Structure 1
Amino acid sequence: MLKKIFNPVLVFIAAGLLMQGCIKDHCTQTYSYFVPVYKTTEEVRANIKSNAPREMELTGKLYIRGNYIFLNEIDKGIHIIDNAIPTSPKNVAFIDIPGNMDMAVKGNTLYADAYTDLITLDITDPLNAKTTKIVENAFPFRQYYGTFYADNSKVIVDWLKRDTTVNRDCDNGGFFGIDFNKNEVLMYNDMLSLPNYSNNAGSSSSSKSVSPFGAGGSMARFAIAGNNLYSVTLNDLNVFEISAPQQPSFTNKVNIGWNIETIFPFQQKLFIGSTTGMYIYSISNGNNPVKESQFLHVQSCDPVIADEKYAYVTLRTGTTCNGTSNRLEILDITNINSPSLVKTYEMTNPHGLSKDGDLLFICDGANGLKVYNAADINNLKLVTTIEGIETYDVIAMNNIALVVTSDGLYQYLYADPNNIQLLSKIKVKQ
């Protein structure tokens, strides 16, 4: 049920752990505490629908369906953006879904997580989205760390921040002098620092490809193929039957390994990224995915996309994945049972990626959006770098690249790759 609330954005924003002063061997440090705001399960579920639009603050996963963009507001819900005119997108509604981080769309049905539950919404009219089914406990617990205990009879819908200054030993950088109590939490997660977001299903590899399921970014943990919805958790692949789209049913759980991160569907295959490698599963029998192969790499966060011949994997440092490398790996998957590394390219801090024809788009964190000509994977040619934006994920299709950044949602026209033009941007709340 929704009331089983665990591990939202695990936020240990120790607010920079700012040292305020030091006299002899006595120092002070300021920390940010977060106090949960609760509502009842009934109140929360009654409000999972299209409500008035709200400003973006901390955006995450991205999904496109027709003229609409669905953009996750981490742990809060989903922005609905009318993109019929890409030069003038309109933020038209917000679906309040506490605990939401992922989504996928099939036809007029949107699937989203709400902490441990799977929410199904009818979006025939996106401005009047309505819940049609809730699959309770669809996902393993998302768990807080430390000594915080949530009130399991209610749902956390927000957090109130407050700062406190404590004394500590100057020679010890640990958390001394902190009085934790069960109603407050000092949380940690790289998800609030946009370059280090963890995890929606990969984007189309060609603008000529038309999918009835829409397209998601490469940081996805939800994917739709045929009559199935697939979702990856830390170590499992969950399978839902959606032949009746608005009435999904759980059918299978497949253990994959550990530290699973992303999922990308392509031609009856699922390409699954983990901190230690890429797994390939056949979904010829949609309800029973079968492992075909895997490729291991050094430990790192691992978004992945694929086309007919190659898989493209980005690895990065500076996250809870404990990675030590920042690079793009290109794998030959023509022999699906034995993927092999073809070429490695060094990057700064790569995140999401997308491919349209011969153009490869890579979000390189604070180094902006990089666009490559990938006609020859052994000799990628950098076409351009769009600087001045801190990038997280990208979907490139139909000559428009949608880019999620630390300060909002940008759209670029790349009909002429040598002259990429900014079409529009929606900025986050300052």
Structure 2
Amino acid sequence: MKNLNSVFVSLIVLISAIMLNSCQDEVTTTHTYRAMVPVYLKMSDVRARTIVIEPGQELENPGKIYLYGNYLLINEPQEGIHILDNTNPASPVNLNFIPIQGNVDLAVNNNMLYADNFVDLLVFDISNIRSIKLVERVKDVFNHMYSSSDTGIILTFKDSVITSESPYGFMGRGFFMADSRASFASNLSGAAQSYGQGGSMARFTLMSGHLYAVDDYSLRVFDVKAPSNPKHVKNIELGWGIETIFPFQEKLFIGSNSGMHIYDAKNPGNPTKMSVFEHVRACDPVVVNEKFAFVTLRNGRMCWNGVNELQVVDIADLYKPRLVKAYPMLNPHGLALAGDYLYVAEGQHGLKSFNVANVMGIDQNQLEFLKSMKSVDIIPGPKSLIVIGPDGVCQFDYSTPSKLKPLSCINVKNPVTVQ
């Protein structure tokens, strides 16, 4: 027993010595692992750059479209805005390109072009289209669209191989930070004469001297009665999944992936909620007339497992919207309404047109199905029907609604697949 006690004491002494030694000389191990690492951008660097207007450029990845007088504006997502002279829709002229990092949406009010620049709102004077000038920058009004830290805003995450040293074999804090942040998003009618006209996929819209901008979960209100000097008025929380906004007769119809929100904007600086028409989870642009709202629902990579259909909603009572009828579609994206005629962008499948005078028989009144016209959104302008898709931007004479007549197409260099 005495020998066993001696051995036990010896072991205790040996372990204590090792522990004391380890406190003096820390043991480190090297680890190599994969992680999603944030890509940062400092807004101070973005703001320091001078925006120089460039000559017209080829379309590469067209996003939002916007019509202002005789000008057609086409957003190049995250890159900037193309401006074309569309006096003759059969022969549009590419005038210039405004390079704007992080640009997603746009609107025009009395010759003032509003465009997002990551977290800032920019104002350009386009009264002289040959001499466009940046006249105002409203800072940090869209910072909700980006995760951020002291390092800057997070644009995206990249898959990286990381090698680090850490004591006692534990991985460093950086790995857990990158892993936990990977779930954050990295990514935003008939108008008055002084305003332009956007498509049904727009997140910016103008009405009653105010600019309204929606993001994933809120409505941002700006007073633009002084067009060159927008004032951020307030934010209105709407709930997650907000996608589009459409103005009509002092009302705002806001599409989300779970329903259509209706807001009363008679007091334009303080829109108030009237109702929400709920539907299954799916992407959801909307256009309206005096009696009905036409809503397209689709599934897809960013649209959950929703249905593909056109829903007609009775809005006679804006506080109690109700579904009238739903029609199956292939994969509908944006849509446009011109009188009794509805145009539906069916993504990769083409472009459809309907007479919707009888909302109970829309499926029996399809006018055309242009399968070669891959389409994402549509603007029914005073001179032409403007259709944007992965292959470019095309215009049609739609004076005879039952037979669209091609006028022109601006093709992109490298077409992509519609999502």
- TM-score category by the smaller chain? 0.7 to 0.9
1:429 to 1:181, Cα distance in 2 relative to 1, 3 A = farther
CA deviation string 1:339-384 (max 9, x = no partner): 1111111100000000111110100111111011111111111110
Partner of 1:93: 96
1:211 to 1:333, Cα distance in 2 relative to 1, 3 A = farther
The counterpart of 1:327, out of the listed 302, 309, 320, is 309
1:153 to 1:344, Cα distance in 2 relative to 1, 3 A = closer
Give, as a single letter, the amino acid of the residue that structure 2 aligns with 1:426: I
Partner of 2:401: 417
Give, as a single letter, the amino acid of the residue that structure 2 aligns with 1:265: P
Give, as a single letter, the amino acid of the residue that structure 1 aligns with 2:381: M
1:45 to 1:356, Cα distance in 2 relative to 1, 3 A = farther
**2:402 counterpart SS class:** helix
Give, as a single letter, the amino acid of the residue that structure 2 aligns with 1:306: V
Give, as a single letter, the amino acid of the residue that structure 2 aligns with 1:395: I
**1:419 counterpart SS class:** coil
CA–CA separation in structure 2 for the residues paired with 1:122 and 1:228: 17
4+ runs deviating over 6 angstroms? 33-40, 161-164, 179-182, 186-191
CA–CA separation in structure 2 for the residues paired with 1:190 and 1:247: 28
Give, as a single letter, the amino acid of the residue that structure 1 aligns with 2:74: L
The counterpart of 1:358, out of the listed 331, 340, 347, is 340
Structural mapping, 1:336-347, within 5 Å:
336-347=318-329
**1:379 counterpart SS class:** helix
Structural mapping, 1:239-254, within 5 Å:
239-254=221-236
CA–CA separation in structure 1 for the residues paired with 2:309 and 2:197: 25
Report the alpha carbon displacement of residue 90 of structure 1 after superposing the two structures with TM. 1.0
TM-score under structure 2 length normalisation: 0.79
**2:58 counterpart SS class:** coil
**1:128 counterpart SS class:** coil
Count of residues in Structure 1 that have an aligned counterpart in Structure 2? 362
Give, as a single letter, the amino acid of the residue that structure 2 aligns with 1:388: S
TM-score under structure 1 length normalisation: 0.77
Structure having the higher Rg: 2
Structural mapping, 1:27-426, within 5 Å:
41=44, 46-143=49-146, 152=151, 203-204=189-190, 211-380=193-362, 381-398=365-382, 400-426=384-410
CA–CA separation in structure 2 for the residues paired with 1:45 and 1:82: 30
More RCO (CA 8 Å, sep 6+) = 1
For structure 1, the 5+ residue unaligned runs are 1-32, 165-178, 192-198
Report the alpha carbon displacement of residue 52 of structure 1 after superposing the two structures with TM. 1.5
Give, as a single letter, the amino acid of the residue that structure 2 aligns with 1:398: P
Report the alpha carbon displacement of residue 187 of structure 1 after superposing the two structures with TM. 11
1:68 to 1:218, Cα distance in 2 relative to 1, 3 A = same
Give, as a single letter, the amino acid of the residue that structure 1 aligns with 2:111: N
Report the alpha carbon displacement of residue 88 of structure 1 after superposing the two structures with TM. 0.6
**2:122 counterpart SS class:** strand
Partner of 1:14: none
